[in-house]
Structure 1
Amino acid sequence: MLKRIALFSLLLLAGGILGCGEQSKEKPNKEPAAPQASDSLETAAGTRSEKSEKEAEEPFVLTEENAIDFFFDYQKNLKANRVRLTTSLGSFTIALHDNVPYHKANFIYLTRKGYFDNTMFHRVVRGFIIQGGNADNRETARKRTEIGRYLLPPDTRKGYRHHRGTVSMPSSEINNPHMLASPYEFFIVVTDPGSYHLDGDYTPFGKVVEGMDVVDRINQVPVDDGDWPSQNVYILKAEVLD
């Protein structure tokens, strides 16, 4: 356990903490910009309240120091492996991979905490991906503050590729050579048959098993120059299917 903590701490020191930055724009005749967390929005949730005199009475908050141990314990007795997302354009179901334990546990934990409710698909690149889990509202910033500020290490060697329908986790954009994952966001590949240039850099942790037509519908919405949908596409509710 101490080795695991030490390794993750080194990754975090190498990767750096999430910073502010703008996403790259797609360039003609090249692959679309790779999925990256919307760090400029995440910073709204970056501050934590001061510690109280009685630490034991504080609500539990995830940090870079305790996240891996927490999710290691959380996933031990985790039987559920499906999550249904109900969006403003319809519903779809994701099956999570059991052998990507930290990313699976993280997604189920956030779902059960109600984090994804009322977030948005804030980045849509036609024929490539839809990316969700963020929003430009105070509620989402508040949730991130209450849950905590942390990153997840990549887990790319389980044999999963970025086929169409794959659910994967974007990385933080700034000062992050180890591609540490931003835990609050996810993206879904819509490319047919897949976007395999993402393999090895991002962690596939699930796949859409029902409602891929809804994912395609989201991928077809008009967007502005920053790939943000012209009309917000909301995740109205996320629920774990036990």
Structure 2
Amino acid sequence: MTFKTFSLFTVIIVLLFSSCKEQRLEKNKEELSTKVKLDTIDTQKTELKEEIEKEGAPFVLTEDNAIEFFFEYNKTITENTVKLTTRFGDITIELYDNVPYHKANFIYLTKKGYFDNTYFHRVVKNFIIQGGNADNLETAKKRSEIGRYLLPPDTRKGHKHHRGTISMPSSEIDNPHMLASPYEFFIVVTNPGSYHLDGGYTPFGRVIEGMDVVDEINSQPVDDGDWPSQNITIEKAEVIK
């Protein structure tokens, strides 16, 4: 082998080695980058609420983050009872533990003060009373600050629409999957129950005190559209235990 041929062969070997080394380095960099990125995303998920609170930025629920948020929020909940105060008396509701998203949503909205000064805005005789809405700017402002989202139905936990059951209506807007409107709820008045609702709506609790108040509200006169002739205000909603 001539010196010229040997030199050329040596250069080729060096270039091939350098190329392979660069490829391995690029592959290692790519794998490291992917791992860091995944770890960062996971960290962001678990620390999302803490970072938002630390930075003082308003936290707004959306279709993208609501389920994850309520999944984590439910782990922090130790209470399962909410009291609604009206001019007719108090209604005490016990929430079911095995309907976690709807329970967490109701506790969260109660603690945020959302239900305060909303109405029992729909009263259907011998059927239901429906609450959580109001035709005022305060309620609209609260909704915009909390966020726009829906909840998936959770209808297979064995709960029926017995008298006194609290359940969540589905949104009426482009909603083939019967996703629940998170800001409203209804209480069944029918005796013994309204079982035709089973499978279509999600029961997430029951009245344990104050069914006489529910009945009194259900007996109030209504206008067209089942809106009470005089507003029936939820003066305060509070988590009591």
TM-score (norm 1): 0.76
**1:203 matches 2:202:** yes
C-alpha distance in 2, partners of 1:57/1:169?
32
Partner of 2:162: 163
Other structure's SS at 2:61 match:
coil
In the aligned structure 2, how far is the partner of 1:156 from the partner of 1:164?
17
Q: How does 1:1-242 map to 2 (within 5 A)?
A: 57-242=56-241
Specify which structure has the bigger relative contact order, considering alpha-carbon pairs within 8 angstroms and separated by 6 or more residues.
1
Q: Using the aligned pairs only, state the percent identity.
A: 78
More helix by share: 2
Number of residue pairs the alignment of both structures matches: 187
- For 1:160, the aligned partner's letter is H
| AA in 2 matched with 1:219 | N
Task: Give the aligned residue type for 1:93.
Answer: T
**C-alpha deviation, 1:57, in angstroms:** 4.8
SS at match of 1:176: coil
Cα deviation for residue 124 of structure 1 reads 0.2
| Structure with larger Rg | 2
- State the alpha-carbon separation in 2 of the partners of residues 225 and 146 from structure 1: 31
Shift of 1:88: 2.0
Tell me how far 1:58 sits from its aligned partner: 2.7
In structure 1, what residue type is equivalent to 2:217? I
Which range is displaced more, 169-178 or 218-227? Answer: 169-178
For the residue of structure 1 that corresponds to 2:214, the secondary structure is helix
Question: The residue matched to 1:207 in structure 2 has which SS?
Answer: strand
3-state secondary structure, aligned to 2:235 = strand
Alpha-carbon shift at residue 92 of structure 1 (Å)? 1.1
Superimposed CA distance per residue, residues 130-182 of structure 1 (whole angstroms, 9 cap, x where no aligned partner):
00000000000000000000000000000000000000000011321110000
Secondary structure in 2 matching 1:205: strand
* AA aligned opposite 1:166: T
Distance 1:66 1:180 in 2: 15
Equivalent in the alignment of 2:39: none
User: Which whole-Å deviations, capped at 9, do the CAs of 1:77-126 have from their partners, x for residues lacking one?
Assistant: 21100000001221110000000000000000000000000000000000
| TM-score, normalised via structure 2 length | 0.77
Match of 1:14 in 2: none
Give the CA deviation at 1:225.
1.1
Unaligned residue ranges in structure 2 (runs of 5+): 1-54
SS at match of 2:238: strand
Alignment gaps of 5+ in structure 1: 1-55
d(CA) in 2 for partners of 1:92, 1:222: 20
Q: Alignment RMSD, CA only?
A: 0.8
| Partner Cα distance (1:154, 1:234) in 2 | 27
What SS does the corresponding residue of 1:73 show, helix, strand or coil? helix
Give, as a single letter, the amino acid of the residue that structure 2 aligns with 1:146.
Answer: E
Counterpart Cα distance in 2 of 1:153 and 1:127: 28
